[in-house]
Amino acid sequence: MALTGSFPLPPTLAEASITEAPHDWVDRLLLSGPDHQECLRFGDPVDRATLRGLVTEQAERLTAAGLSTGGTAALRLAPSLGYTAALLACWQLGAQAVLLDHRLTDHEVALAVERLAPQVLVESAHRSAATLRGFAETDPVPVALPGGRPAATGHALVQLSSGSTGPAKVIARTASDLLRELDCYRRLELFPKAGERVVLLSSVVHVLGLVGGLLNSLHARVPLTVPERMTTAGILASIAEDDRPTTVIGVPFHAELLAGATAPPPLPQLRRMIVAGELVRPGLPAAFTARYGVPLGTMYGMTELGVIATDLDGTLHPQAEPVHGMDLREEGGELHIAMSASPYPGLTDPTRWSDGRLHTRDAGRVDPAARRVTVLGRRDSQVSIGGLKVDLTEVEHTLAALPEVREAVVVFADGAIEAYLATEHAADPAAVRNTLTRELAAFKRPRRLSLLPALPRTATGKLVRDTTALRAAADAAATPAP
């Protein structure tokens, strides 16, 4: 089954010359506009003239460090105005930008640099932001790296996957890929338009915050605000500080945070929240709407492709509608998506991409007649227990729906099901087990049940599903502090 379509980009995007004038698409589609028009707010508002000046300054620094058309630069910068200017400057110069999350350790950065061999590494002269800070004050400093290599491909963007289910993959996208995704956002009627604003909670280093948040807001001329603090109070304050219609974009964790707010202030400007990155637990959309009176929309996407399908008003959940031109098929219960070329440079793996199809490794169903797709979770969530099939997603959703459980991760290791739960302080493991006895067949119940104050997450905010990391977190939670 397939949901197919092939459509040319609209003139505003298709006319952007990428090969002949590398800077053109950045200047014309992202930086253009009235000088005094507000475009970003990292604490203080930033207008387009100011942003253009900062991009020019960063381009001069990068050029002085040896970066030029076809070059490679790795950015290790916290979400900030400086990060934004440095990234756009890389693309303005026609260089390939490699994004490294600022929360990586020096060891992890060294491994990434060895693996990717960028010519320039851009870091901040200032300290990294504190954990709950939404953005940082950065002063990007580019440094030429010995042994760095120019780009081997024509990709504009290189990212590392979150690694929530295994080693990080190198994923690359061309400028045309980014423009196609911006066109998808332009066609979504319920996505923020001119005259509205966005409060962005997702990191601009990763695909949702980068393209759906930062780049789309610049292109659609929708002012974007990043809260100073990623706490419930900080997020609500950012929503309340402006009267324009506001959409909040984040991951399910952020929606959980806001849904749990006690007596939030009236927010007449709030139109909706949109989340992506992982499946939304049952009950969260209703809880969020009950708290704020607006829908919790969802999106399905991947770093490899960006946005794939959406349910922006929350009426289709758990289904979603594929974005314009997206060709999806269900092959053996797995979602496959048409892509003309592999997004994994230097990797030949037919289990990930073959015959013009990306193998998502997500289980799902496609209904071409209704133009709907249902994402069921990771394909590796289907396991066999004593010859009986168990869907770990079902077990996880059952656990997450318990009143004392805030979130849950269920994995299969060493022939058994293990569950890791973030619970309220007074949660009783015996009570949780008793409830599971009533709600799940014996062969579906976890052999190991670990209660933690919080579950480990990746840099993108996704729940970690690596068994070793989960066991380590559980052991640490069970060990009294010295």
234-263 per-position pLDDT tens digit: 999 999 999 999 999 999 889 999 999 999
Domain ranges of the chain: 33-165, 176-380, 386-478
CATH code: domain 176-380 is: 3.40.50.12780
As to burial, measured by CB atoms within 10 angstroms (0-12 exposed, 13-18 middle, 19+ buried), residue 481 is: exposed
Tokens matching residue 167: 């080693």
d(CA 382, CA 420): 18
Among 52-61, 216-225, 333-342, 380-389, the minimum mean pLDDT is found in: 380-389
Arithmetic mean of pLDDT, 186-206: 95
Q: Which pLDDT value is given to residue 5?
A: 38
Helix axes of 81-92 and 48-64: crossing angle, nearest 10 degrees: 60
Q: What pLDDT, on a 0 to 100 scale, did the predictor assign at position 155?
A: 95
Handedness of CA 396, 364, 211, 345 (dihedral sign): positive
The arithmetic mean of pLDDT across residues 414-428, rounded, is 84
What does the pLDDT read at residue 479? Answer: 64
Residue 429 above 60 pLDDT? yes
For residues 45-59, average pLDDT:
98
Mean pLDDT in residue range 460-466: 80
CATH classification of 33-165, choosing from 3.40.630.10, 3.40.50.300, 1.10.645.10, 3.40.50.980?
A: 3.40.50.980
Q: Is the pLDDT of residue 275 over 50?
A: yes
Residue bearing the bigger pLDDT, 175 or 166: 175
Does 311 have pLDDT greater than 70? yes
Whole-number pLDDT of residue 189: 96
Q: Place 478 in a pLDDT band, splitting at 50, 70 and 90.
A: confident
* pLDDT of 4 higher than 90: no
Does residue 22 surpass a pLDDT of 60?
no
Q: What is the mean pLDDT of the segment spanning 332-356?
A: 88
8 Å CB contact between 168 and 160: yes
pLDDT higher than threshold 90 for residue 439 = no
pLDDT of the residue at 236: 97
Residue 170's CB: how many other CB atoms inside 10 A?
17
In 3D, which of 197, 216, 208 has the Cα closest to residue 29? Answer: 216
Amino acid (one-letter) located at 440: L
Query: Percent of the chain scored above 90 by pLDDT?
Result: 60
What mean pLDDT comes out for the span 200-226? 96
Q: Which residues contact 178 (CB under 8 A, 6 or more apart)?
A: 156, 157, 211, 215, 306
Distance CA 167, CA 165 (A): 7
Identify the band that residue 393 occupies on the pLDDT scale cut at 50, 70 and 90: confident
Domain 386-478 in CATH: superfamily? ANL, C-terminal domain (3.30.300.30)
Same fold, 33-165 and 176-380: yes
Q: Could you tell me the pLDDT band of residue 164, with boundaries at 50, 70 and 90?
A: very low
Q: Tell me the average pLDDT of the chain.
A: 88
pLDDT > 50? residue 303: yes
Please state whether the predicted TM-score (pTM) of the whole model is above 0.85.
Answer: no
